[in-house]
Amino acid sequence: MPDIRQATEDDIASLYELYEKIGHKDEGYFEQCFEKDCILLIASKDNVDVGFGLINFEPKYSLYKRLEIPEIQDLNVIPTMREQGIATALVDAFENIARDQEIEQVGISVGLNQDYGPAQRLYTKMGYLPDGSGITYDREYVKVGASYPVDDDLCLMMVKDLSQ
């Protein structure tokens, strides 16, 4: 089982190292996370950071905003450590944070291309269901007949009821 801790600004360099191991680079990203109403968690195994994610209490997606549903975002585990329960532990930790704040629903999004197959299965297995509004591109509803790139911004938005 991984150890989960809340990130602080002292962890920014470590977070960028993790992000790079996952194949991403986005200067200023983590600094922005600490400026928003977010909680960042880091997962480690054998004292090595192996994954991270955040829960955003002011999400961009209009349905979540209207219903005051926080969104689990940017859930990442380094490739060599996947399928070891790390993402599950992070999601469980975020759900517990939401429950501690008496929040009854939490949202998560998942990409639609093949790379996201394991995440699609995981979120469904953990009780997340499509929110019923179809798919989004960059958190905006897609328009029928319009074309969108199949990239990380084309997502299915999902919700889990935590009150059960």
**Are 61 and 51 in contact, with CB atoms under 8 Å apart?**
no
Summarised one tens digit per residue, pLDDT across range 148-157 is 999 999 999 9
Indicate which CATH number applies to the domain containing 57: 3.40.630.30
State how many domains the chain has: 1
**Are 5 and 14 in contact, with CB atoms under 8 Å apart?**
no
Distances (CA, A) of 49 to 100, 102, 109, 138, 162: 25, 29, 23, 28, 28
Give the mean pLDDT of 94-105. Answer: 97
Summarised one tens digit per residue, pLDDT across range 7-52 is 999 999 999 999 888 888 888 889 998 988 899 999 999 999 999 9
Distances (CA, A) of 119 to 73, 105, 155: 12, 19, 12
Residues spanned by the domain of 152 = 3-161
Please give the Cα distance from 102 to 116 (Å, whole number): 30
- Any idea which residue has 């070891």 for tokens? 84
